[in-house]
């Protein structure tokens, strides 16, 4: 049974927030103390480390579910199917619908149920649910969709990664410059064509404090009662460099695919230096160098939209919107992600 992505779609907000927008922020450390460096220096160092020049924010009236529905409609249209044919809608996110300036997530109903409503799907047997799996959520949704189809429980699944992280960032935290908004969607279904999902790998690390590397924590400013997305950046970086290449190799080897046949790697757009280092270590395990065109990236202009980064990037490449990156029928790619949990996963996929 071959399970293939037959449609893709993305929703990228129009509001562009460049690095200069943070020049007037009052950045504080985790003890509430101001930095001695000027903001210009902080921003320049941030850009050098992450590669981020700008990010996208959703307008106040648009929520994660709205972005998800927009991306979903494009994916459904791209697949050439009826929305009523969908058996599952799986939506991955971290904070769901969060109203601008409220910092309070709306957990009921689920984002997936809201998406189904926005899509005006009447079929009650189309099951809609959310998953919380950190940045690797979209990949894990794809793995679950594959399981449903293989088990005979579904024929067509819609998998979405969506986020409005701009609404849960601490304005006093330098890390607020990393996060962004967006949504990406894919249709997974059985296909008579060869290829599709060849293998997958998922691991969760919690024993040595990994679960607390990314968390929801107090703001840095005095008397700020709100909680925001927080991370121990250095620990995340070191963890990712150590663990992610191993999981990627395990996934690729399980597919029986030689490293020389790998066309592209779609890795979570978290930090371009970190992603490049992960991929370098991945190829080093095969005692070979990294091909110059194996790693498409969009973090420079889109920022880190968590679960949305991989499906939006894949959609861009499939639609020939990323200069220097093209894919053709039969090409083999690797999807890989790491994030809160700490979770790591990967999929080997043949177009």
Return the bridge partners of 8, or none.
Answer: 186
Which has the minimum average pLDDT: 5-9, 159-163, 200-204, 270-274?
Answer: 270-274
For residue 342, which of 193, 42, 136 has the smallest C-alpha distance? Answer: 136
- Residue pLDDT, tens place only, 81-140: 999 999 999 999 999 998 887 767 777 899 999 999 999 999 999 999 999 999 999 999
For residue 203, which of 263, 167, 251 has the smallest C-alpha distance? Answer: 251
- Residue pLDDT, tens place only, 171-216: 999 999 999 999 999 999 998 888 999 999 999 999 999 999 999 8
- Residue pLDDT, tens place only, 227-284: 888 999 889 999 999 999 999 999 999 999 999 999 999 999 999 899 999 999 999 9
pTM: 0.94
Q: What is the mean pLDDT of the chain?
A: 94
Helices (H), the chain: 39-50, 64-79, 111-118, 137-150, 233-255, 272-284, 299-302, 309-318
Taken in order 46, 48, 53, 55, the sign of the CA dihedral is negative
For residue 216, which of 166, 181, 161, 170 has the smallest C-alpha distance? Answer: 170
The reported pLDDT for the residue numbered 176 is 92
For residue 294, which of 316, 275, 273, 311 has the smallest C-alpha distance? Answer: 275
The reported pLDDT for the residue numbered 245 is 97
Q: Counting Cβ atoms within 10 Å, is residue 204 exposed (0-12), middle (13-18) or buried (19+)?
A: middle
Q: Cα(198)–Cα(258) distance, rounded to whole angstroms?
A: 13
Q: Cα(26)–Cα(22) distance, rounded to whole angstroms?
A: 9
Query: Would you say residue 321 has pLDDT above 70?
Result: yes
Please check whether residue 274 is in contact with residue 237, taking contact to mean a CB–CB distance below 8 angstroms: yes
Lookup result for tokens 């083999």: 332
- Residue pLDDT, tens place only, 56-77: 999 999 999 999 999 999 999 9
Return the bridge partners of 281, or none.
Answer: none
Domains of the chain: 2-194 (3.40.47.10), 197-350 (3.40.47.10)
Q: Cα(121)–Cα(115) distance, rounded to whole angstroms?
A: 9
The reported pLDDT for the residue numbered 55 is 96
3-state secondary structure of 292: coil
% of the chain beyond a pLDDT of 70: 100
β-pairing, 196-204 with 343-350? Answer: antiparallel
β-pairing, 88-92 with 156-164? Answer: parallel
- Residue pLDDT, tens place only, 23-45: 998 998 888 889 888 999 999 99
3-state secondary structure of 242: helix
Would you call the peptide bond into 85 cis, given omega within 30 degrees of 0 as the criterion? no
The reported pLDDT for the residue numbered 103 is 67
Query: Would you say residue 19 has pLDDT above 80?
Result: yes
Number of neighbours of residue 257 by Cβ within 10 angstroms: 17
Please check whether residue 251 is in contact with residue 222, taking contact to mean a CB–CB distance below 8 angstroms: no
For residue 265, which of 242, 283, 287 has the smallest C-alpha distance? Answer: 283
């Amino acid at each position: 049974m071959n399970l293939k992505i037959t449609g893709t779609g993305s929703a990228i907000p129009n509001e562009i927030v460049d690095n200069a927008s943070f020049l007037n922020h009052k950045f504080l450390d985790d003890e509430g103390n101001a930095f001695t460096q000027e903001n210009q220096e902080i921003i320049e160092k941030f850009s050098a480390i992450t590669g981020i020049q700008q990010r996208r924010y959703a307008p106040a009236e648009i929520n994660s579910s709205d972005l998800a529905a927009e991306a979903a409609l494009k994916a459904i249209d791209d697949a050439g199917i009826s929305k009523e044919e969908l058996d599952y809608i799986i939506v991955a996110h971290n904070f769901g619908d969060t109203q601008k300036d409220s910092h309070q997530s709306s957990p009921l109903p689920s984002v997936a149920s809201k998406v189904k409503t926005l899509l005006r799907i009447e079929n009650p047997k189309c099951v809609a649910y959310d998953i919380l799996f950190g940045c690797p959520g979209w990949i894990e949704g794809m793995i679950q969709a594959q399981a449903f189809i293989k088990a005979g429980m579904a024929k067509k699944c819609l998998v979405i990664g969506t986020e409005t992280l701009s609404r849960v960032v601490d304005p006093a935290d330098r890390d607020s410059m990393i996060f962004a908004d967006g949504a990406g969607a894919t249709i997974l279904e059985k296909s008579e064509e060869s290829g599709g999902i060849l293998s997958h790998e998922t691991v969760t690390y919690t024993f040595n404090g990994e679960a607390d590397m990314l968390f929801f924590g107090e703001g840095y400013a005095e008397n700020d009662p709100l909680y925001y997305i927080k991370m121990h950046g250095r620990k995340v970086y070191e963890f990712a460099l150590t663990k992610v290449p191993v999981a990627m190799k395990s996934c690729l080897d399980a597919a029986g695919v030689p490293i020389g046949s790998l066309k592209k790697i779609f890795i979570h757009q978290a930090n371009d230096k970190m992603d490049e280092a992960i991929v370098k270590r991945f190829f080093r395990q095969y005692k070979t160098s990294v091909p110059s065109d194996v790693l498409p990236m969009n973090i420079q202009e889109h920022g880190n939209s968590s679960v949305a980064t991989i499906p939006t990037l894949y959609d861009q490449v499939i639609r020939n919107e990323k200069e220097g990156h093209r894919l053709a029928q039969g090409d083999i790619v690797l999807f890989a992600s790491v994030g809160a949990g700490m979770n790591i996963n990967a999929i080997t996929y043949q177009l």
